[in-house]
Every structure is written in structure tokens, then in C-alpha cells.
Amino acid sequence: MTKNARTVWLFGLAAGVLVLLVWAGRDYFLTGGKEIQCSDGPRRTIDLRNFRTQYSAYSVEFEGSIADKGKFGGKISPVQLQQLSESLQQANEFRKWLVAGYNSCAITRAGFEEYGKVFQSIDSVAREIDRLSGKTGLTEAETAALRSLVDQFITLSQRLAAK
């Protein structure tokens, strides 16, 4: 067997293996998970990263802002900052529980969508908090609005924990 023939043969074998892997994994990679049967009908399992993108796309950036804390210094009280940080942790833990519950049929599709709406509300509030906290020289009204948004974020995350 010549070197060219062996190269072509190895390339063909590698391409065949790749095609087989793509065909075998197409359900997972193209649709985002495997299909399972639950009492409220069939559903596709959800990857936690997919949930984070769909329902809480801003959370990673916001978590970084909270961890940095310098962005919020002097704009909200240390107590509010601590509560905000704890609320973010609660929301993250709840997100993991929610996806695991959905994937194991412990949470109905309707319940999952309801929680998703709350996560979208949290995401919207987080964006507004980040926008205001990024400004320099906040007016008295903007500072009050920022504090109110932080309280709203805390309330929404506690609402998740209470469900």
C-alpha cells in the first residue's frame, strides 16, 4: 500500500467515524437533549447552560459585577450588597434545582414556564441595576431607583425560594 493510498484510507475512515458520531449524537446536539415521557406529555431535557442562556442570559455578567463589588461601592448599603449577593446565590441554586426537577418530570411544563417568567423578570432587573450602577455621579433619584431595584431583585429571588 502506497503512502497516498494509506492517507486516503485513513481520511475515509476518520470521515466515516465522524459521520457516525454526528448521526448518533444529532438528537442531543441539534435539539438540546433527549426526549423523555412525563405525565404532562413528552419533553426534551434541558442542559443547565441552555437554561441560563434562555432565561437568565445576563446572570454571568451580573454575577461578575456583584463579585467585583467596586462597581456598587457607595451606591447601595453594605447590607443591601450582602443581600444582593445572597439572593444571586439563591437564584443560582434554584436554577439548578429547577432544571433537575424539569428533567426528572418532578416539575410540570406549566410550572417550568412560570418559573422562567420570574427568571426573565430577575434578568431585566439585573440589567437595570447594572446600567445604573455603571453610571458615575448618580442623582439622588437615580440612587433611590438603584436601591429600589436592588430590593426588587432580592424580593424576586426570595419569591423563587419560597415556591
Range of the domain at 10: 1-31
pTM value > 0.85:
no
Total domain count for the chain? Answer: 2
**Is 53 in the same domain as 117?**
yes
Q: What is the DSSP string of the chain?
A: --HHHHHHHHHHHHHHHHHHHHHHHHHHHHHSS-EEEETTEEEE---HHHHHHHH-TTHHHHHHHHHH-TTTTTTS-HHHHHHHHHHHHHHHHHHHHHHHHHHTTSS-HHHHHHHHHHHHHHHHHHHHHHHHHTSSS--HHHHHHHHHHHHHHHHHHHHHHH-
- Asked if 107 and 145 sit in the same domain, the reply is yes
Report the CATH number at residue 148: 1.20.1420
- State whether 3 and 61 are in the same domain: no
pLDDT string in tens for the chain (163-residue length): 687 777 777 777 667 666 666 655 554 554 456 888 999 899 888 887 776 666 655 555 566 666 665 566 566 777 887 888 888 888 778 888 888 999 999 999 999 888 888 888 888 888 888 888 777 787 888 888 988 998 998 888 887 766 6
Residues 49 and 66 in one domain: yes
